[in-house]
Structure 1
Amino acid sequence: MPQNSVRMSPSEVKAQLKNSDTTMLQMLHFVFDSVLKRKSLLFLNIGLLLIIAGLNFIVPQFTKNIIDHALGQHDLSTLWFNVGGLLGTTILLGLLSFTSTYMMQILSQQSIKELRLTTYTKILKQDYAFFQNSKTGDLMVRLTSDINNLQSLISSDSLGLVGNTFTFVVVLVFLYLQNWRLALLVSLTFPILFITIRFFRSRIREAFSNVRTMNSQISNQLQATLTEIELIKSYTTEHAETKTFADIVDKTNTYTLEATKWQAIFQPLLLFINTSGTAIVLAFGGYLVVKGQMTIGDLVAYLSYVTILQNPINSFSRLINIFQTAQVSYDRIHDVMAFDAAIIEPTTPSAFPEPLVTSINFKDVSFQYELKTADALEHITCQIPAGKTTALVGRSGAGKSTLIRLLMRLYDATAGTITFDGQPITAIATQDLRRHISLVSQDVIIVDGTIGDNIAYGTPNATQEMLWHAAKQADIADFINELPDGMTTAVGERGIKLSGGQKQRLSIARALLKDAPIVILDEATAALDNESEKTIQHALDNLMTAKTSIVIAHRLSTVHNADQILVMDHGQIVERGTHSSLLAQKDGVYRKLYDAQFE
């Protein structure tokens, strides 16, 4: 049965990672889905905001009473009562505001923690094609800055919109009841505010989108530079790298200034419109006071209420910037969350056959990379016997590593089937499959931690006794014992404090501790000199004992004892047999490779 999982090309991966055109409603649903899991905190905050809005409505009444009654009638008791009421209400407002802000921060931190973990988990679960076509720096920005921008949506300012809307409606109705003509004149400024906000909205969003894109490019450049410092030093390309970085920074500055320009125009314009509303009240209200149709206290209170009325609009304008920045960030996070994996997990997975009894079978397997015109693998049919050692040899580009990637299901074959004791690879969950495979590669990955951390990586419950046993089998225990801190010795970023041979032995110890039934050695000694290779070979022999072993080897001297050698050329298996039988074929590919190495 052919493996018909959809395999995504690099260009399709990049297309999926381009900013999508999501809606504000989708963003709010994504963010507040986590908020609604904490309804008690949410409703407590909304209740506090409504109380704060009500108290803000009361404050101007104290001012009105002081001016019209206490001062107008020279009544000291009324004066002290209203001053006390004003101070008491202000203190209560401060306490409630503090409580609301603190509770909102708790809600915000808990919700954003969940969103960050959800996004991080989603990225880690993506398949090999995703990481091959994604920029590390860009993914880092999505997990850090973009998530932080979403946090601004869960704040007192954003949820305060509920209280502000309530205040706006109540105050507007009150003003119309007090003086409908004056309220109507003030209301004329609202459509102007709305049109202004609408005009600047798209421009601010586009500017922030450009800034966010350039920030990702800065992260990508920094990540590439700092991880390739040895190459840069070797080829003296410091000036070229600096110029590249300077160009990116220049573009970032240009887009940042553009965003700042729109904001700088927007805020003063908003202030002018609000001030126009205040001027209308002063002009017409002052006229009414002169005519005796309004008291001075009424006018002062009216001005306070107009300010309260403008606060929700001002808050909304501030939220425009927050929402626009958050929308850009959400678009980028949404791209990751909505990404369709190329490797399709089985809905009802079958267990990996343990122990592996008969063999791993490749039947008419073909595979093609997008950028190649010919298949990387063509109609591969072979059997890898359980408990035996199979070697894959051939020139560079023959398809050896590709075959291994299919075996680990980093890619899916475009045709044919791969089975383990008859169980199709597509029927086994990828995590279950990979738990049963240990890989030792020439490109050793060392995590930034201790010696023990590196050996125990992937086996978190390992005891100290198990670590030392694996270290002894990997012939690295003596080296560890000589270190001042032993297993707790820090290895440095990417294992910078270790030699190539020490790194390789650590990776072998890691694989020994994992104790998987299938062992893959992908040019495990290719980067070592002959002496180092000989010292490590004993550790490799320990690793392959009683295991189904697959050895990719460039040096043919390392595969003499393999139970089976598969010779690959141009994506096909052209010869198979033992070392002696293949060497006997004088015109064979293996014999030519062997002669070329030992001439």
Structure 2
Amino acid sequence: MNNANKRLSPSEIKTQLAQSDTTILEMIQFVFGSVLKRRGLVILNVALLTLMAILNFMVPQFTKNVIDHALMTSNKTILYQNIVWLISTTIILGIVSFASTYMMQMLSQRAITDLRIDTYNFILKQDFAFFQDTKTGDLMVRLTSDISNLQMLISANTFGIIGNIFTFISVLGFLFYQNWLLALLVSLTFPILFITIRFFRGHIRESFSNVRYAQSKINNQLQSTLTEIELIKSYTTEQSETQKFETLANESNDYSLSATKWQAIFQPLVTFINTIGTAIVLLLGSLFVMNGKMSVGDLVAYLAYVAMLQDPIRSFSMLMNVFQTAQVSYDRIKNILSYQPTILEVAHPLEFPNPLQKNINFEDVVFDYDTGTNIALKGVSLTIPAGKTTALVGRSGSGKSTIIKLLTRMYDRTSGLITFDNQDVQSFRLTDLRHNISVVSQDVTIVDGTIADNISYGSENVTTTDLWQAAERADIAEFIRQLPDKLNTAVGERGVKLSGGQKQRLSIARALLKDAPIVILDEATAALDNESEKAIQRALDNLMVAKTAIVIAHRLSTIHKADQIIVMNNGLVSEVGAHDILLRKAGIYKRLYDAQFE
């Protein structure tokens, strides 16, 4: 198994994030890849930022002219002109700043929306095993909070670095031209700032990594709690669940305080270093003014330029926190995007046989979930005839559900061959294969929407008549007519407003509407009472008409009429035959049957 497909535990992911060698440049290239799709807006925004830098550079000159020329000569004309220029420049600067900020936000929102959609689509295309190995709450954090953190990279402040770089270079050059000694002394504080930023960078990043990891665990706990609320209530474990959550919340709090501590030390330290630079200019500049080597206006303008010089450094130091937070989130998103599906499409897929003409064959199929440690099928060979009903029976863990997962390519076989009408299952498009198979399982999935949404899920161009016909055949139409909004009645999250039997019949109506030629019933009536089972069995009989049906049976009384019964035992086919024949054999099937009817 290559590294791209390796499944990492939460602790391994945490370690990987803390030790990641991801560079800021790599992260910026990833995030700005979407931004650069709109190059025209980017170029225009860079031009506006450059114009803002030029306008900011001009402002101190108006102050200098007022002090040195208007005040010293009592020239009101110069005073009025420079005040008008100052106000006009500030107004233009505000307009340009508004346009730049608005366009940057527009770019930011579009880029992050694209990234979120692409990541969501990437996750949905992963294999079934990916979702078994990944926590739902953690995926939610990566799709929401982590991507939102990346959005801070594409903000007006971040893009302002371009203008700040231009300002820094031009202002520093001007300061050396005005007074090289002062400029040199101020520049001595820059290496100190650089060393400070380097020192704090690792600590802040590690802290944010711990914060994101703790938030993922909190989300996983919330996800588990909300989906298992009935179990929690039944076993009165509210207190213990609260204690678990309290432990996670306190852990998150400790990590957040650690991150805050490093930030709280970092910001004042940067301010102090910048103040040292200002103090140097104020001290020596005042001495120069006293000695007649510099005018008061020059000193005031020089101080303004030093502040402008320090602003890019201060902005960079503040943005460093943004970069650290974003880099942790980028590492987490990058980790998800490093996965590659193992269930692959063939280059030239064949057309799926619809309807199935011959049979489905398993030839010496071996499958293990954990590369040798959990062998589920041990050389299974069996035939499922087209247009007939085949039942799979056996104790829990015998391999019945694994056969279904291999048929639908939720997993791929380890070895052997699986064919539909003598064509390898891997030779079809996944969408074609799964479109031609309907699965009705014991664990019914209900979408948070209306009755109509649930019946029509996965089907296109469905009419109201189609919905009612499917509901009639699934024996649920009468129940729907009694609802206040009929087909438009909301079922609630996970179908909380429906009984188990009603959920099951909705899933059968969904399968009827899909009208796939192959039907798989995975213990579809196992969790129902006798009355509900009889009603649903009628609906299932309607579903299996003229279909190739595969039934995983928990209650053996439901499969008397199956054309053939395949008995699984410990990952192998033990017996094959009709109900009466298997009973006469007095093997595993008879023992299972007798155990249910003693």
Q: What are the equivalent positions in structure 2 for 1:516-527 lying under 5 Å apart?
A: 516-527=516-527
Paired amino acid for 1:543: L
Q: Which residue of 2 aligns with 1:126?
A: 126
Contact 1:390 1:551 in 2 (8 A): yes
1:119-172 deviations in whole A, cap 9, x for unaligned?
Answer: 000111111110001000000000000000000011111111111001100011
SS of the equivalent of 2:112 reads helix
1:500 matched residue in structure 2: 500
SS of equivalent to 2:73 = coil
Residue 465 of structure 1 and its aligned partner are, at CA, apart by 1.1
1:349 alignment partner in structure 2:
349
Structure 1's 185 and 16: CA in aligned 2 closer, same or farther, altered over 3 A? closer
Distance in 2 between the 1:563 and 1:231 partners? Answer: 39
Cross-structure match for 1:137: 137
Deviation at 1:368, TM superposition (A): 1.6
Q: Is the 8 A contact 1:10 1:129 kept in 2?
A: no
- Opposite residue 342 of structure 1, the aligned amino acid is T
Shift of 1:23: 2.1
Is the 2:186–2:280 Cα contact (8 Å) retained in structure 1?
yes
Q: What does 1:161-560 correspond to in 2, within 5 Å? A: 161-370=161-370, 373=373, 375-560=375-560
Listed one character per residue, the Cα deviations across residues 186-208 of structure 1 (whole Å, up to 9, x for unaligned) are 11111111111111111111111
Aligned 8 A contact 2:476 2:506 in 1: yes
Asked if 1 retains the 8 angstrom alpha-carbon contact of 2:4 and 2:338, the reply is: no
What SS is found at the alignment partner of 1:346?
A: coil
Q: 1:534 to 1:576 in 2, by over 3 A?
A: same
Counterpart code for 1:347:
A
Q: Residues 138 and 323 from structure 1, CA distance in 2 versus in 1: closer, same or farther, beyond 3 angstroms?
A: same
CA-CA distance at 1:43 after TM superposition: 1.0
Report the counterpart of residue 43 of structure 2 in structure 1.
Answer: 43
Residues 327 and 89 (structure 1), Cα distance of their counterparts in 2 relative to 1, 3 Å cut: same
- The residue type equivalent to 1:284 in the other structure is L
Residues 365 and 413, structure 2, Cα contact 8 Å, conserved in 1: yes
State whether residues 451 and 491 of structure 1, in contact with CA within 8 Å, keep that contact through their aligned partners in structure 2: yes
2:575 paired residue number = 575
Q: CA separation in 2, counterparts of 1:349 and 1:13?
A: 37
The Cα offsets for residues 185-231 of structure 1, whole Å up to 9 and x where unpaired, read as: 11111111111111111111111110010011110111111111111
Aligned ranges 1:42-61 → 2 under 5 Å:
42-61=42-61
Count of residues in Structure 1 that have an aligned counterpart in Structure 2: 595
AA partner of residue 209 (structure 2): S
Which letter maps to 2:89? T
**Aligned in 2, Cα 1:461/1:26: closer, same or farther, shift over 3 Å?**
farther
Q: Quick one: structure 1 residues 9 and 474, their matched pair in 2 at CA, closer, same or farther if it must change by over 3 Å?
A: farther
Greater Cα offset, 321-330 or 361-370: 361-370
2:390 alignment partner, SS class: strand
Q: Deviations 1:345-382 (Å, cap 9, x if unpaired)?
A: 22332222222111111000011222984521111001
8 Å Cα contact 1:70-1:78 kept in structure 2: yes
Secondary structure of 1:410's counterpart equals: coil
Q: Is the 8 A contact 1:399 1:571 kept in 2?
A: yes
Deviation at 1:426, TM superposition (A): 1.6
Q: Unaligned stretches of 5+ in structure 1?
A: none
* CA separation of 1:293 and 1:5: change in aligned 2, threshold 3 A: closer
Q: Is the 2:491–2:498 contact (alpha carbons within 8 Å) kept by the matching residues of 1?
A: yes
**What SS class does the counterpart of residue 550 from structure 2 fall into?**
strand
Percent identical: 64
Structure 1 runs of 4+ aligned residues shifted over 3 Å read: 4-21, 371-374
- CA–CA distance in 2 between the matches of 1:497 and 1:378? 43
Q: State the structure with bigger RCO (CA 8 A, min sep 6), 1 or 2.
A: 1
Please report how far the alpha carbon of residue 28 of structure 1 lies from its aligned counterpart in structure 2 after TM superposition: 1.2
The residue type equivalent to 1:494 in the other structure is R
Deviations 1:39-79 (A, max 9, x none): 11111111110000000000000000000000000000100
Residues 280 and 14 of structure 1: CA distance in aligned 2, closer, same or farther (over 3 Å): closer
- 1:11–1:182 Cα change, 3 Å: closer
Measured in 1, the distance between the counterparts of 2:328 and 2:124 equals: 22
Once the two structures are superposed, the pairs formed by residues 77-116 of structure 1 within 5 Å of their partners are 77-116=77-116
Shift of 1:12: 8.0
CA 1:255–1:323: 2 relative to 1, 3 Å = same
SS of equivalent to 1:554? coil
Report the TM-score, using the length of structure 2 for normalisation.
0.97
Report the CA distance shift for 1:502/1:292 in structure 2 as closer, same or farther (over 3 A). same
- CA distance in 2: counterparts of 1:192 and 1:67, whole angstroms: 34
Shift of 1:10: 5.2
Question: What secondary structure sits across from 2:391 in the alignment?
Answer: strand
Tell me, yes or no, if the aligned pair for 2:521 and 2:552 is still in contact at 8 Å: yes
Whole-angstrom distance in 2 between the partners of 1:296 and 1:238: 72
Task: State the 1:342 CA deviation.
Answer: 2.5
Cα–Cα, structure 1 residues 426 and 447, in superposed 2: closer, same or farther, change >3 Å? same
Indicate the residue corresponding to 2:73 in structure 1.
Answer: 73
What are the Cα deviations for residues 370-415 of structure 1, in whole angstroms up to 9, with x where unaligned?
2984521111001111111100011111110111111111111111
Asked whether the equivalents of residues 4 and 340 of structure 2 are also in contact (C-alpha less than 8 Å), the reply is: no
Amino acid in structure 1 at the alignment position of 2:31: V
Take 2:11 and 2:309, find their aligned partners in 1: how far apart are those partners? 47
By how many angstroms is 1:94 displaced?
Answer: 0.8
Cα distance change, pair 7–540 in 1 and its aligned pair in 2 (3 A) = farther
**Following TM superposition, by how much is the alpha carbon of 1:336 offset from its aligned partner in structure 2, in angstroms?**
1.0
Shift of 1:24: 1.7
> 1:241-298 deviations in whole A, cap 9, x for unaligned?
1111111111111111111111111111111111111100011111100000000000
Report which stretch shifted further, 14-23 or 214-223: 14-23
Shift of 1:184: 0.6
Change (3 A) 1:155 1:6: closer
* d(CA) in 2 for partners of 1:530, 1:472: 21
Contact 2:442 2:522 in 1 (8 A): yes
Query: Aligned residue for 1:597?
Result: 596
Residue by residue over 1:562-591, the C-alpha shift from the partner in whole angstroms, topping out at 9 and shown as x without a partner, is 1111011111111001111111112x1111
SS at 1:199 equivalent: helix
The within-5 A match list for 1:3-14 is none
Structure 2 residue matching 1:293: 3-state secondary structure = coil
Shift of 1:310: 0.6
Alpha-carbon separation, structure 2, partners of 1:74 and 1:185: 35
Indicate how the Cα distance of structure 1 residues 137 and 497 shifts in structure 2: closer, same or farther if over 3 A, else same: same
Paired with 1:472 and 1:438, the residues of 2 have a C-alpha distance of 18
- Mapped to 2, the partners of 1:5 and 1:532 lie a distance apart of 48
Q: Give the match's secondary structure for 1:461.
A: coil
CA 1:201–1:96 in 2, change beyond 3 Å: closer, same or farther? same
Mapped partners of 2:11, 2:504: distance in 1: 34
* Contact preservation (8 Å) 2:5, 2:339: no
Query: Once structures 1 and 2 are overlaid, which stretch shifts more, 25-34 or 8-17?
Result: 8-17
SS at the partner of 2:462? coil
